[in-house]
Amino acid sequence: MQKYLGSNIWKFYLIAGLGIRFIAPIRILYLLSFGLTFSQIGMMELAAALVIVVLEVPTGVFADLVGRKASRMVAYILSIVAFSCLSFGSTATIFIFGWALSGAADAFQSGAQDALIFDTLKSLGREKEYLPLKSRFLLINTVTVILGSILGAWLYKIDHRLPWYLITVFITLSALVFSTIIEPETNRKFSRFTDRLKEFKLSLKLSMSSLDVRRLIVLGLILTIPMYVFVTLLNQPYLISLGFNVQSLGLVFALITGISGFTASFSHQVEPKIRKRLSFLIIFISFTLLLIFMGLVHSPVALLFVILFYVVENYKNIIIDNYINQSIDSESRATVLSVQSLANNIIISIVFVFVGYFIDILSINIVLILMGVLTGLACIPFISISNRIKTVKLDKISI
């Protein structure tokens, strides 16, 4: 068993290498080329978010009761069908359906592969290798995003559908490799649906009863919306409006990914020096000003603001994850994070109903300015956030 489990490691590396995101620089442009409006693209995001909300708990139950490998394989099958729809479709209905399926795939894969990696290392007695392994995966991910951005833009110029065909092929190859992964034998934490549901209810109550956890979930949501809107709806048409052509978008996205990924690697050195309160203050001010400047500047110089926006976003993600993990005990960590994901998707699904519509009737630049102003106003109540981190224990909460 140990001998076969050891082969999981190189297979996970291979799967990471196959994760080339050919559609990263052209996804919105591809959809717009078929005549979709920003409202319809917003409906795609809404459909995916709603599916994730509905499946968040059931897929967690499925992974706990059936197995993480089975959950990840379901995600691969759904992804292949989803991207086939997106590759060959040409109407808003097909694109919305395909993106909804990709949301279902995200729900099934959530945390399953990371859990398999950790369980493999634990079974091999190599748990200490987890963080170095994750760092290498991050490096591989950065390289694949850069490579995919450059190739995706170039392929798009040849044929609009080529990047989508290729990402479907690579997902299929990843699924074939993953099907040979050996799932380590572990003690199931939950043997019944009612056990898993009870744990979820307990963590939901914990999230709502702890002021620190509640603040971090709300704050994380406020700061997630601007970047999520920018990445899913605005970045490609915005960069085109600055004078960049489709082919140069590949190089631009590679530059953004490289710089933001490199600077994010220093987050663990920066945070201890400036601590929690100052970290959030810098993020609040940066998000507000950068969004407003991005809306006001109509030249390639605005690319600098976009890069800084991604840098601050990466730092924000790392420190919020760190603070939430420090604020909850290990027994409830996974389910509290599920609550956070659930809250994010519910609010984001509501936001996208309006954002696409506002882009259509106003403009990208005005929407960016409005997002900057609203983000700044929403963050005002959190300016006095404490540096203190208080961990809440699960056994202090009762249903």
For residues 188 and 78, give the distance between their C-alpha atoms in angstroms, rounded to a whole number: 25
Residue with tokens 């706990």, as numbered in its chain: 64
Highest mean pLDDT among 162-166, 341-345, 382-386: 162-166
Residue with tokens 């600055």: 242
Q: What is the mean pLDDT of residues 175-186?
A: 86
- pLDDT for 188 beyond 60: no
Integer Cα distance of 108 and 85 in angstroms: 19
CA distance linking residue 32 with residue 49, whole number of Å: 21
Q: The whole model's pTM is what?
A: 0.74
DSSP state of 266: T
Higher pLDDT among residues 139 and 177, named by residue: 177
Q: What is the pLDDT of residue 399?
A: 42
Work out the average pLDDT over 184-203.
Answer: 63
Q: What percent of the chain has pLDDT over 90?
A: 27
pLDDT reported for residue 128: 72
Which residues, at least 6 apart from 35, have a Cβ–Cβ distance to it below 8 Å?
none
The domains found in the chain, sorted by start residue, are 1-142+156-182 (1.20.1250.20), 199-392 (1.20.1250.20)
Q: What is the pLDDT of residue 8?
A: 83
pLDDT of residue 195: 65
The mean per-residue pLDDT over the stretch 75-92 comes to 95
Task: Give CA–CA dist 263/374, Å, rounded.
Answer: 27
Average confidence score pLDDT of the chain: 81
pLDDT digits (tens, 9 = 90+) for 1-29: 555 777 888 888 899 899 888 998 888 89
Percent of the chain with pLDDT over 70: 80
**335 contact partners, CB below 8 Å, separation of at least 6:** 60, 199, 200, 202, 203, 204
pLDDT (mean) for 371-376: 93
Q: Which of 28-42, 114-128, 247-261 has the lowest mean pLDDT?
A: 114-128
Range of weakest confidence among 43-57, 203-217, 280-294: 203-217
The residue to which tokens 């027994």 are assigned: 331
- Specify the pLDDT at position 397: 44
Least confident of 36-40, 133-137, 144-148, 220-224: 133-137
For 221-366, where are the E strands, in sequence order?
none
CA–CA distances in Å: residue 276 to residues 218, 220, 271: 16, 13, 7
What is the sign, positive or negative, of the torsion defined by CA atoms of 163, 165, 170, 171?
positive
3-state helix, strand, coil in the chain (%, to 5): 80, 0, 15
pLDDT at position 169: 96
Which pLDDT score is estimated for 359? Answer: 87
Instruction: Look at residue 157 and tell me whether its pLDDT is greater than 70.
Output: yes
pLDDT reading at 307 higher than 50: yes
Q: 10 Å Cβ neighbour count for 189? A: 11
Q: Tell me phi and psi for residue 392, to 5 degrees.
A: -100, 130
- H or E element, residue 305: helix 302-327
47: helix, strand or coil: helix
Closest residue by Cα to residue 310 from 268, 373, 255: 255
Lowest mean pLDDT among 73-82, 124-133, 366-375, 389-398: 389-398
Which pLDDT score, from 0 to 100, does residue 394 have? 46
Q: How far apart are CA 107 and CA 349, in angstroms?
A: 15
Q: Is the pLDDT of residue 234 over 60?
A: yes
Q: What is the DSSP letter of 239?
A: H
Tell me what pLDDT residue 233 has: 84
Q: How many CA atoms lie within 13 A of 179 on its CB side?
A: 9
pLDDT band at residue 366 using 50, 70 and 90 as cut-offs: very high
